[in-house]
Every structure is written in C-alpha cells, then in structure tokens.
Chains A and B, each alone.
Chain A
Amino acid sequence: MTFRWAFAIGLLLIPGGLVAWGADADLGLHLKTLQAVGPQGAGHREAAQAARAAAQAAPAQLPQILAAMDGANPIALNWLAGVAEAVAQRAPGPKAVPVQQLESFLADTKHSPRGRRLAYELIANVDQTAESRLIPKLLNDPSLELRRDAVALALANAAKAEAKEDQVVSYRAALRAARDQDQIKTASDAIKKLGGTVDLPLHYGFLQTWKIIGPFDNIDDKGWDVAYPPEETIDLKAKYAGQKGEVGWIETTTSDESGIVDLTKVLDKHKGAIAYAYAEFISDKDQEVEFRFATWNANKLWLNGELLTANHIYHANMPFDQYVGRGTLRKGKNSILLKIAQNEQTEMWAQTWSFHLRVCDAVGTAVLSQDRPSATSAAVPRTVR
C-alpha cells in the first residue's frame, strides 16, 4: 500500500467525516469569494466560478459553508445558501448529512440567523423528529424564522390546553415571543376571547401621543421639497402661516390598537396639503433602533434633525412596517418628526391621510420611551420597556 492510499483511507476513517472523501480543500477560498459579492453585480464573475466549485464540497463541509454566512451581506447570503443546498442535495443519503454538527451550529446563536435557519432546514430534510425536538426551544430565538415556527407551535399547544387559565398563560407566552403581525393577532384575539386584555400598542411600541401641525400647502405636490418651519425648528408654542390661515401645534393621542393617527380627524380633510407630526422619546441609553411606520401618503422622517428616510410615494397601500428609518437614539430626550404629504387625487381610496409609527429593535421588539404611561408595562419583559 502506497503512502497516498494509506492517507486516503485514513481520511475516510476520521470520526465525523469532517475531512471526508470528496472534501474540497479550497473551499475556504471559494467561500471568501462568495462573501465578497456586492451590489450592482460586483464580484459576480469570480463568484460564479467559486459557486460552481464550492457546490462540489462534501456534505461534511456544510457547517463551514453555513459559517461563511456570518456577517455576509444579503446578496452573498443567497449565493452561500444556493451552494449549501446544492451540496446537501448531492449527499448520497441522509446519513451523509452531518446532523450533529448542524445541530451544534443551530444551537450557537452567535452564527447568522439565516445560516442557523438553513442549518435547521437541512436537518429537518433528513430527520422527521427535528421539529418536535428543536423548535420548542427556539421561542425567543434571534432568527425570526425559527422564532416564528416556535410561536406557531406554542399557539397550537395553547389551543389544545384544557383549562382556560392554562390557555391564557400559554397564549401570553406565545404573544411575548411573537414578532409577526399575524401571530400577534392570533394570540391577542385568543386572549381577549378568554376574557383577558392585551395592550397591543405597547407590544408593538407604537407612539400614541403626537403634536400635529398643518395644513401647509402641497398643491401640485410643490410642498414636498419645501422646508416649512417645523423642519427648521420645533417650537410647540409658535404659530405659522398655513395653507388656509394660521396654524399651531395640536396634541392628539390615539387609542387605535394599531397606533393609527387619522390626520383628517385632527386637522379636517385637506387636499394638496402637508402635516407634520412631532413626538419626543426618552431613551435610557444610546441605542440603535428602527422607526417602522406606514402611511398611504408621501413622507419624510427625521430623528433629532437628521433625515432618516424620504418616500415620495402616494397611495400605494399601507402595509404594516411599510417604511423603515434606522437611527441612533441618544440617552435622554430625542425628537421625532414626520412629514405627511397628501396629494389631490380624487379617487375614494386616495382620501386617506394618516400614519402610524413604532420604535423597535432589528427583530421588531418594542423599544419604549422611559416616560411612556402604561399600566401594564411592569408585566412585560425588560427588553420591551
């Protein structure tokens, strides 16, 4: 037996098959090339070659491919996912998929949420017990997809509980973990049906109290680029020349479960008009947050005078979390300013002039102002307050 043969057989006998027959020694280089893919097609030619080569890796190398998803940009994540699935498909049988290593990968929340999700799916493809064994432990997982599956399971189990009290407790546990609107609604509706109460604006982190001013002129959409006084300075006692006369700040608090502020109720119906909504937010620390909001109307959002996002779009639906502005709250008082522009479309569906806005972290967990009045705030986890 030559040394080469002895070495090859030795590789095959290594427990766990991490350096199994067919393993690609250059895989690390290929994965780096895939990680380097950028927007506008940057790095595509090199990545196309690397993807072809990486797809020939051994199934035992799947954890290495998934680990390359850590910190990868959204486009590179998809290149890597495509490679991982191709490698898994080439596995000669379920036993070739390194389930144990993938479970270890899944358990380590330092890895990319999407890499961990893919690890779970690769396990579930070859192990029918994966869902019942693994998902219940993932109720508060940083991967929204894994969390969603766990919440779905929790909701199903809550419905099966025999005692009403047990049902309420289970639904509340599911609600605390839920971040997707449909699951939050399912849990909330069930709790209410069982006689309980739910503070949905608190769960979502909707701002409910606003100062509103307007209307300012937006005939022919000309107000979109005009910096009216609230964009220059916030003086809540000031009066300004508005579209139809003098205007001043009006405080309003919405009791809508989705935190919707209807500007036609605060300011009356106006066409070709602009309103500003202002709120203060007390943060207990410097922290990065997301301002998620929705409106049928064109809009701009500022945090402490910095423009976070502008969307010159009229009447294109108002889905939940439609727009996202990312910014950093500073410790103490922060100012949030929204510009909501209405155009002059006459269709019935184009009359809505409203918005809602919430503050949350990257997975949608509410971040609440320190001065938020809430009778139920003590009942929710610290992460939500």
Chain B
Amino acid sequence: MNRILAIVASIMLLTHFSAADWRQFRGTDQTSVSADGQIPTTFDAKTGENIAWKAPLVGKGASGPIVVGDRVFVTASSGAVTQNRLHVLAFDTASGEQVWKRDFWATGRCFHHPMSANAAPTPASDGQRIFAFYSSSDLVCLDLDGNLLWYRGLGHDYPKAGNDVGMSSSPVVVGSTVVVQVESQGDSFAAGLDVETGETRWRIQRPNAANWASPGALQTKDGKELVLLTCGKGLTAHDPLTGEQQWNYDVGCAGISSVTTKGSRIYLPANGLTVLDSEGSAPAVAWESNKVAPGNASPVVDGEKVYGLRGSVLACGKAQDGESLWEKRLKGAFWATPVVAGGHIYCVNQEGQCFVVKLDEEGQIVATNEIGESVLGSPAVAGDALYIRGEKHLIKVAKK
C-alpha cells in the first residue's frame, strides 16, 4: 500500500511540477506564454527591487534558462577565444544556490561571433532529463541531479557542421524524441534522437545553407505530434519517430526566428508572418501579414492575439485574422523572444532593459526595468517568477 501511495504522490508531484515548468526555448508549448504566472511589472537588478536572487554564472551564453520542478538549468561555454569548454548548471529555484555544475569539451566547430557564445541554443527537457545543446553540435543528456545519461558529439560525427558566426538552433522534445536542427554550408542535417539512449532514430539531409531557426512541434487535431522544420526553402512536417516527411509548404522562411504553433495553427515567420491551418495534411493559408512580422524574436501567441517584435517595434494582431490592433516602439536591439505572463508582455533587449507592456486595447508600456547587463537569451517563466539569463548572472524576478 505504501508503495502505491508513493507512486501516486510521485505522479501528483510530477503533475504539479509540469504545470509550472518551462522546459525548452519559448516554454514547454513553445508559445512563450505562461498561463498562470504573476510576475512583478517593476523590478531593478541594480537596486534589488523585486529581485529574489541573482546568481553568478561561469563563462558566456546566449542561451535562455529552462525550469523543471524546483530547478532552473542554464548552459554556458568558456575557455579561449572559441570557448570549447561546455557547462551545464543547475540552480535551486527558491534560493538561487548552484546545486551542481557539469563540464565537458566540445567535439565540433566552436567558432562564433564575439557577441554570441558556443552556448547559444537553449537546453530542453522532457521533465526527467536535460538536453544541453551547443553551437558545436555537442548534445549532452543529464538527469536532473547532474548524472550523465549519454553524450553525443554530433560535431565530431559531422565535422563540417557549423557556421563560423555560430549556430543557435535550440533542441525540441517531441514525444520520446529530442530533435536538433544543424544547418550550415558544411554538413547540414536534422536528427531525432531517442531521449533514453541518445541513439539516432533518424537523420535527414537539409539544405547546405546557414539557418539559425529552431524546430517546432505541431499537435494535429487527431492528437498526432509532428516535428516542424523551417529553412529558406520552406516548411516541412515530419514524424518524430521516423523523420519521415508528412507534408511540405513551399515558402522562404526566415533564418533566425522560429515557427510557433497553437493547437493546429502554425505561425510561420515567412512573408512577414504567414499563418497556416493544418488538419494533419498539407496546411492551408489562414492569413498573412507584414504588420505583426517577427524579426530576430519568434512569434508569441496566446490564443487570442499574436505578437511580433521586429526591430524595436512590438506589434499586436488578432490571432484569428491578423487584424492589426496596436504597435509600440520600444528601444534597442532584441534577440530574446518576449514572454507573456499575468496580462503583460516582457520584452528584454540586448542592452539589458526589460520593457513591460500591458496587454490591453492600446498596449501601454507600464515599466522599463534595468537588468544591469546584456541579455541575449529568451527568459523563462515558472510559477510567479521570471528567470533572465544575463551576460554574467542568472536573475530571478519575483516578489520576495
């Protein structure tokens, strides 16, 4: 009986954790929206206002944090100019204490722009494992306690994989497959690996051209999950277990911002923003718009509305038909995709300013908050906290 109770308790605990997790780039469902987070709208990392904690980080990273249960995970890279040392760090969400750190050596090409880092892709998790991916195409799998489960040197297997200004495509977990997209003029491919063993389930050739976009996932109306891959030649949907292509849509997709899905609707950074509906087969265009087109950041979708950050202009449109609702000019250059929580959207620029815009009829800027250091990675939201990976610190924004 005790054993049954323990199992039930574990499942309940896991369910609780899952609801508050932010497991990959742009969140568990990749919409960049937190359903229930209530984050302070004003904070200041310099004065400590609404900063729960601020933890120092080793090395550099353009990756964003992820949150699983009571831990927040971050990747970093360090070493000489090319940063061939790879780090995975785990922090306690409550205290900010570093729980563990693991260090590896890159096996592939490490070159990147001085502003970026080898640790550019955001890690992913299936709730039990962490998948840390790097520009050098090294993929590390650890359990939540830091035990190495497997290690793939995809850059070692395919040594010409890599763009010498740096790769940044983040992995995505679809079912029991972790999917990586490695596209460059050299070796160019997408691969699906078994989350348990790290073995390659499938690997498909991709166009030999630079691409920084991350793969997406689509849940079709019949409950099937598909992997979405975008590049300059179009959008393709693949079976996560076999990699087999299910359908394609010919359009020149953006090379940096990534595809977003909500239900069976696809928000594609192409021709501004192209919105598609898929019933499981080849999709049909619902609408196109240049008004809510994304730039470096990916489209943010909360179901009712869609947000695009292009340059320093944040635009809001109706998700149903793309009708433009409002635009707000922010300041600075943006690499991070904004996040939505508690009726506000949080937009963090490269210079380390976080603009908080109220999601009302006008899109009022309610605060401009100082982070105090450069930010490239997309923030995470878990519970009532916002986690920001700065150049030197991991910062938790929450009421104390």
Residues of chain A touching chain B, judged by Cβ–Cβ distance below 8 Å, are 37, 39-41, 44-45, 47-48, 51-52, 55, 74-75, 77-79, 81-83, 85-86, 89, 114, 118, 121, 144-145, 148, 180-182, 311-314, 316-320, 322
Contacts and interface: CB of A to CB of B under 8 A. Distances in A.
B79 A145 contact: yes
A185 to B, nearest CB: 10
Given A79-B151, A148-B80, 20 more contacts: A39-B156, A44-B199, A45-B197, A75-B107, A78-B107, A81-B103, A81-B104, A82-B104, A82-B147, A82-B151, A89-B146, A118-B103, A145-B85, A313-B184, A314-B185, A316-B164, A316-B165, A316-B184, A316-B210, A322-B164
Nearest to B203: A40
A316 B163 contact: yes
B105 A81 contact: yes
B111 A82 contact: no
A231 to B, nearest CB: 21
B287 interface: no
29 contacts: A41-B152, A41-B197, A41-B198, A44-B197, A47-B150, A48-B149, A48-B150, A48-B197, A51-B148, A74-B105, A74-B153, A74-B156, A78-B104, A78-B107, A78-B153, A81-B105, A82-B102, A82-B151, A85-B146, A86-B147, A86-B148, A114-B105, A180-B80, A181-B81, A182-B80, A316-B184, A317-B111, A317-B163, A320-B81
| Most chain B CB atoms below 10 A, which of A77, A114, A121, A316 | A316
Contacts of A39: 153, 156-157
Q: Chain A binding site: helix, strand, loop or mixed by DSSP?
A: helix
Contacts of A81: 103-105
Contacts of B146: 85-86, 89
Contact of A74 (B100, B107, B184, B185): B107
Interface of B: 79-82, 85, 100-105, 107, 111, 113, 138, 140, 142, 146-153, 156-157, 160, 163-165, 184-186, 193, 197-200, 210
Contacts of B165: 316-317
A312 B82 CA distance: 21
From B79, B111, B142, name the one whose CB has the most chain A CB atoms within 10 angstroms: B111
A181 B80 CA distance: 8
Contact of A78 (B82, B105, B160, B163): B105
A45 B156 contact: no
Contacts of A316: 163-165, 184-185, 210
A54 to B, nearest CB: 10
B156 A85 contact: no
Nearest to A314: B185
Contact of A311 (B148, B160, B163, B198): B160
